[in-house]
């Protein structure tokens, strides 16, 4: 799927990134995306072809990190793989699914190996326009907008499954700052996220330690 998917009038629009010190500008999401990558599923693997690892929606997390531990390998035609392969910095958006507590449309950041993975057909892949926006900056902004309910009108329901209305989704407004400001924001948020993850691991370790002590006391009693 090429950028012809977008409204042709929007494709021709060229937006310049703000210079250092200039205020951020408001654009639509489609202005910040260079192309959409089609999700694929392929065929079952066999002894002669072990296939390509496919990222599914259950490999995605609400925190924004992809879980690579339980991928499904599928056989793809070379031409299909060439169009669907993922690059670091691609953004994976749940296109079909959703739950009672989480609507469809949450985003994950792909930081895996280049040209080695694809996403399945329940996922919309956005490739950020790197001449205009840092992929990580766009990821954080889409995550913020999703968590604040800005995409609540971007899906419909069919037989209990939520489906992302892509045109409405791509028409949402985002803010784009200068590259210097984008880098500052990404660095700050990455530091905060890393600190939170460290605290989670420390808390889990202490929790297990406490449980082991009580289990030991019960065994002695």
DSSP 31-53: GGEEEEE-----B--BTTB--EE
Q: Which two tokens stand for residue 86?
A: 């993922």
Check: CB of residue 93 under 8 Å from CB of residue 105. Answer: yes
- Look at residue 153 and tell me whether its pLDDT is greater than 60: yes
Percent of the chain with pLDDT over 90: 73
Q: Three-class SS of residue 195? A: helix
- Is the model's pLDDT at 190 over the cut of 80? yes
Residue 219 has pLDDT above 70, yes or no: no
Higher pLDDT, 111 or 209: 111
d(CA 180, CA 21): 9
Alpha carbon distance 109, 146 (integer Å): 14
- The domains found in the chain, sorted by start residue, are 3-178 (3.90.220.20)
Over the stretch 5-43, which tens digit does the pLDDT of each residue have? 443 333 335 678 999 999 999 999 999 999 999 899 999
CB 133 within 8 A of CB 176: yes
Angle at 13 between CA 11 and CA 138, to 5 degrees: 80
Question: What pLDDT was estimated at residue 9?
Answer: 33
Give the pLDDT confidence score for residue 136 in this predicted structure. Answer: 98
Higher confidence at residue 205 or residue 26? 26
Considering the chain, what is the average pLDDT of its residues?
Answer: 88
Mean pLDDT check: name the lowest of 59-68, 106-115, 159-168: 159-168
Q: Specify the pLDDT at position 200.
A: 80
pLDDT of residue 6: 40
3-state helix, strand, coil in the chain (%, to 5): 35, 25, 40
Confidence check: pLDDT of 78 > 70: yes
Q: What are phi and psi of 204, to 5 degrees?
A: -65, -40
Task: Name which residue leads in pLDDT, 218 or 168.
Answer: 168
Calculate the CA 107 to chain-centre distance. 3
Q: What is the per-residue burial (b if ≥16 Cβ within 10 Å, else e) of 178-217?
A: bbebbeebbeebeeeeeeeeeeeeeeeeeeeeeeeeeeee
Residue 50: per-residue pLDDT: 87
Beta bridge partners, 75, equal 43
Output the six-digit token pair for 220.
């002695």
Residues belonging to the chain: 221
200 Cβ neighbours under 8 A, 6+ residues apart: none
What pTM did the predictor assign? 0.85
**Which is more confidently placed, 72 or 197?**
72
Q: What is the mean pLDDT of residues 77-97?
A: 96
């Amino acid at each position: 799927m090429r950028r012809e998917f977008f409204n042709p009038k929007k494709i021709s629009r060229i937006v310049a990134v703000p210079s250092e010190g200039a205020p951020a500008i408001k654009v639509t999401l489609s202005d910040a995306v260079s192309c959409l990558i089609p999700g694929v599923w392929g065929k079952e693997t066999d002894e002669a072809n072990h296939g390509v690892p496919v990222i599914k929606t259950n490999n995605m997390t609400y925190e924004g990190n992809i879980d690579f531990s339980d991928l499904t390998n599928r056989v793809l035609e070379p031409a299909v793989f060439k169009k669907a392969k993922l690059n670091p910095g691609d953004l994976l958006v749940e296109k079909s699914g959703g739950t009672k507590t989480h609507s469809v449309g949450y985003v994950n950041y792909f930081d895996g190996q280049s040209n080695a993975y694809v996403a399945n057909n329940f996922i919309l892949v956005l490739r950020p326009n790197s001449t205009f926006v840092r992929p990580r900056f766009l990821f954080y902004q889409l995550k913020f907008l999703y968590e604040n309910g800005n995409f609540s009108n971007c899906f419909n329901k069919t037989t209990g499954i939520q489906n992302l209305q892509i045109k409405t989704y791509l028409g949402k407004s985002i803010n784009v700052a200068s590259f210097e400001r984008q880098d500052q924001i990404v660095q700050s948020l990455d530091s905060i996220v890393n600190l939170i993850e460290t605290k989670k691991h420390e808390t889990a370790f202490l929790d297990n330690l406490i449980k082991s002590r009580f289990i030991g006391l019960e065994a002695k009693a």
